[in-house]
Structure formats: structure tokens, C-alpha cells
Amino acid sequence: MEEEIDNRKINNSFLRDHNYATEADIISTVEFNSTGELLATGDKGGRVVVFQREQESKNQPHRRGEYNVYSTFQSHEPEFDYLKSLEIEEKINKIRWLPQQNAAYFLLSTNDKTVKLWKISERDKRPEGYNLKDEDGRIRDPSTITSLRVPVLRPMDLMVEATPRRVFSNGHTYHINSISVNSDYETYMSTDDLRINLWHLEITNRSFNIVDIKPANMEELTEVITAAEFHPHQCNTFVYSSSKGSIRLCDMRAAALCDNHSKFFEEPEDPSNRSFFSEIISSISDVKFSHSGRYLMTRDYLTVKVWDLNMESKPLETYQVHDYLRSKLCSLYENDCIFDKFECVWNGSDSVIMTGSYNNFFRMFDRNTKRDVTLEASRENSKPRAILKPRKVCVGGKRRKDEISVDSLDFSKKILHTTWHPSENIIAVAATNNLYIFQDKVN
């Protein structure tokens, strides 16, 4: 990867193409599984679509890497909480895959209130032969039954089934923003605005509250939890980020209730940059451990930061995602864009990070070479195997050819959700109702 991030991305497929996109089609989360063979998306309509990578075939070598729809199912339905007179949206907030345990695949999906565990499995045989009816379904005269038939299994066309295995409900009063599976393979946590709960994957009627920041008096509320994640290897460690721009690392070994953090990451505020919007734009919208477990990445409104777990005082690296918006904060506040929650991801080797922006732009930062690139996920360059051209936003006075002025950016086209294949340079980018998959040029 390294320097090639600039131009070797090619658009591979262009899925879920709806010109007449409805609200329900807007993709709300996207996630590769641990091998990268599968890719799941969730949308505002409560649906989950799973894509499977095409297997290598001799006659069409370039097809390796294409992702095709494997299974589609309705994960969540809209509900109504009659006690609180509240509508519960079906929108899928997060999807997390479980480590593979047998031939079937498992994922957790969540909306605002309920986490569900889904099993996606294949079936290629079906039983044949009845005693009481013949193959056409006609009932036989019981008196003609003189011998017993045991059904036999015969091959049939492959069928992929999605079945709900567990429903973890009633654990949250506020809106769930994150779920994260523990490296012990048996627990996961779900996080809402004020609390984090720990669940056993096999037990749905009990969860343990591990963080609770709800003040006794809600009027004293100054901070909410925005995201949380388990450490990739240490089963006892997790982090959560807050709307005040800080990250807390907790050790579950120390106590059952992790209200006291063991590490606190926060960058001191620069007084010269202080403005009305300082607090809003410092709110962290996503936090991710690196695959190695050594670093943390956080995304706030204008930057993405990399932290070393061993240094709490300031980030190791800070990357400007779209600094040119700093002068536009007022209008971004007025159209609510300033509250957009951008996510961020690592590549497989933790050397490159990716996060989204507006105008269907997304950004990549190479941590070694310090080079960065802006790419666009759009219909125009979405012909299969087209090569992506880097884009530039004009910041100075004079606009060069190929540059786009800040004023002409389309703020309704935002890239909030992206995911990176765990080992290869394949990325999936959700741009409202479209999913783009890009990969390194093959030969």
C-alpha cells in the first residue's frame, strides 16, 4: 500500500444502486468480518445485507475480490414504546461480526435499544420421501401403507438462511451507539449515551452495568458517552470516548463497576482556537483500537487523532480531515452538519487510516510517509475497474483546474461509515444509499 494509496484504488463494484433512494435505503453501518470474506451493511430501514467475496476462479482471475450479495434480511422492525410514548427506529446503528466458530457466520446488529445475534448459514440438502403423501403432496390412502419410509436427504440449490439466535433487549434506557465483542469470545458490551453494559453472548435476560455516568440529577449532565470499544487482545481492557473530547481506558480486573478509569486521554485545549463551537467540534464521534492494540484512533469533527496507549497527555499524531471547514462552522451549525458522526478505520497493518468527509469525499492518511489523499465515491467514476483520481479542495484564493471550491461542496453527501478489509487493501465506503468497494489495482 504505502504511497500507492493515491492512485491505485480502483472501483470494483457498485452495489445497491437506487436512483430513487428512499430514507430507508440510507446505509447506516458497514463492517467486514474477521477474514474479510464477508461484508455486512445495515440501513435505516432495519435491513442487513451481507456480501460475500467471489471465490478465485481460473477463467476469470480478475473477478477475485468482487463482492456479491450473499444474504439479505430484516434485522429490526420499527417499534413503539407505549410506556414512554416513544417510537423506536429500526435503523441499524452498528454491526459487529463474531469470530467464526463453525461453518455458520454470526453477527450482532443493534438499533437504538435492542441488540440481536444473527446466524447466517448455508443449506444444500433437503429431505425427501413421505409416508402419508406422495411426492406431489397428494395424501395416500392410509390402508395402502404397508411399509415405512425413512426420508433421505438429497442435494438442492444452495440456500442461505439468516436466523435470529438471541435478542438482547431491555438493557438500555438511552440510545445505543456502540457494540463491541470481547476477545474472550463470550461477552460483548453495548453502550448508550450514559451507560455501558456487559452481556454474555448466551444469556439474554441479564447484563452487567460496567460504566454509568448518569448524574443523580439530570440537569447536571455535561457529558455523554459517544463510542466504546474493547481492546483487541486484552479481554479486560476497553475504552470509551465522550462528547467532551476525552477518552477513558478502563480495566475490568480492578473492579466490577468501572466508573473509575485507569487512563484518561485528553489534549489540552489551545486557548487561541477557542470559540463558541470548540466544545461541539471536540466531541469524539468514533474511537478504534489499532489491530496491534498499541494505539487508539479518535475522530472529532475536524481531525482524526492517533494516541499511544502509553501517553495520555496528547495525541501522537493529528491529521486534519477538512480544516477548510473551520471558517464555515457557523453555517454547519445552522444546518446541523456539525453534529454529524464520522467514523474512522485502520488498515490491516495499522499504517494507514481512513475517515469520511462531505461531498462524497473520504480521506486516507499514511502514517509512515505522512502523505494524505482525498478520494471521491461517486457515480461518475463508478464504472467497474475505473481508477480513482485524487481530489483537491481549494483553500486559497485562486482555484486551480481540478480543484473544488469549499463553497461548492455538497454537505448532504456525507461519508460517515467506512470499513477496511482486515488484511488486504480493500475498502468499503457507504455514501448515503450507495456502497462502493475499492481495491488496489490487480496487476
Partner 1 sequence: FPEMAGAEGEDSLYPIAVLIDELRNEDVQLRLNSIKKLSTIALALGVERTRTELIPFLTDTIYDEDEVLLALAEQLGNFTMLVGGPEYVHCLLPPLESLATVEETVVRDKAVESLRKISQEHSPVDLEVHFEPLVKRLASGDWFTSRTSACGLFSVCYPRVSNTVKAEIRQHFRTLCSDETPMVRRAAASKLGEFAKVLELDYVKSDIIPLFTALASDEQDSVRLLAVEACVSIATLLPQEDLETLVMSTLRQAAEDKSWRVRYMVADKFSELQKAVGPEITKNDLVPAFQNLLKDCEAEVRAAAANKVKEFCENLPEDSRETLIMSHVLPCVKELVSDTNQHVKSALASVIMGLSTILGKDNTVEHLLPLFLVQLKDECPEVRLNIISNLDCVNEVIGIRQLSQSLLPAIVELAEDAKWRVRLAIIEYMPLLAGQLGVEFFDEKLNSLCMAWLVDHVYAIREAATCNLMKLVEKFGAEWAQNTIVPKVLGMSNDPNYLHRMTTLFCIKALSEACGQEITTKHMLPVVLKMSNDQVANVRFNVAKCLQKIGPVIDSNALQAEVKPVLEKLATDQDMDVKYFAQEAISVLALA
- Cell numbers for 252, please give them: 475490568
In angstroms, the CA 297 to CA 249 distance is 13
Place of cell 448466551: 202
For partner 1, give the closer residue by CB, 1 or 235. Answer: 235
Q: Closer to partner 1 by CB, 98 or 354: give it.
A: 98
Of 102, 217, 272, 443, which one interacts with partner 1 (CB under 8 A)?
102
- Which of residues 145 and 442 has its CB atom nearest to partner 1 in the complex? 145
150 binds partner 1 (CB under 8 A): yes
106 forms part of the interface with partner 1 (CB under 8 A): yes
Q: CA torsion sign, 305 to 306 to 309 to 311?
A: negative
Question: Segment contacting partner 1 (CB under 8 A): 177-185, 324-332, 368-376, 413-421?
Answer: 177-185
**Residue among 5, 194, 250, 252 that touches partner 1 (CB under 8 A):** 252
DSSP 8-state symbol, 278: H
Cell triple for 238: 476497553
**Binding status of residue 64 toward partner 1 by CB under 8 A:** no
Nearer to partner 1, 78 or 129 (CB): 129
Ramachandran angles phi, psi of 440, nearest 5°: -55, 145
Cβ atoms 305, 365 nearer than 8 A: no
Q: Would you count residue 121 as binding partner 1 (CB under 8 A)? A: yes
Q: Does 145 bind partner 1 (CB under 8 A)?
A: yes
Of 66-74, 125-133, 262-270, 298-306, which part binds partner 1 (CB under 8 A)? 125-133
Task: Assess 188 for contact with partner 1 (CB under 8 A).
Answer: no
Q: Does 423 bind partner 1 (CB under 8 A)?
A: no
Q: Are 388 and 381 in contact (CB under 8 A)?
A: yes
Judged by CB under 8 A, does residue 101 bind partner 1? yes
User: 283-302: which residues touch partner 1 (CB under 8 A)?
Assistant: none
Report the run of H or E that residue 279 belongs to, with start and end. helix 278-282
In whole angstroms, the minimum distance from the beta carbon of 153 to partner 1 comes to: 5
Under the binding rule (CB under 8 A), the answer on residue 18 touching partner 1 is no
206 scored as a contact of partner 1 (CB under 8 A): no
Tell me if 238 sits within 8 A of 190, measured CB to CB.
no
Say which amino acid occupies 375.
L
CB 287 within 8 A of CB 247: yes
- 155 part of the interface to partner 1, by CB under 8 A: no
Say how many residues touch partner 1, by CB under 8 A: 42
| DSSP class per residue in 75-144 | ----EEETTTTEEE-----EEEEPPP-SSSEEEEEE-SS-EEEEEEEEEEEEEE--SSB-TT-PBPPGGG
If one asks whether residue 7 binds partner 1 (CB under 8 A), the answer comes out as no
Given candidates 255, 330, 387, 395, which one binds partner 1 under the rule CB under 8 A? 255
Q: How far is the CB of 147 from partner 1 (least distance, A)?
A: 7
* Distance from C-alpha of 358 to C-alpha of 425, rounded to nearest angstrom: 23
Query: Cα torsion at 145, 146, 147, 151 (round to 10°)?
Result: -10
253 binds partner 1 (CB under 8 A): yes
From candidates 235, 280, 394, 406, binder to partner 1 by CB under 8 A? 235
**Alpha-carbon torsion 76, 118, 224, 200, what sign?**
positive
Q: Considering the rule CB under 8 A, would residue 147 count as an interface residue with partner 1?
A: yes
Q: Kindly report the length of the chain.
A: 443
> Contact 189/179 with Cβ under 8 angstroms?
yes
> For 295-331, what is the HEC assignment?
EEEEECCCEEEEEECCCCCCCCEEEECCHHHHHHHHH
CB of 402 to partner 1, least distance (A): 49
Q: Tell me if 443 contacts partner 1 by CB under 8 A.
A: no
Q: Using CB under 8 A as the criterion, which residues of the chain lie in contact with partner 1 when the complex forms?
A: 99-104, 106, 119, 121, 123, 125, 127, 130-133, 142-143, 145-153, 165, 183-186, 202, 233-236, 252-256
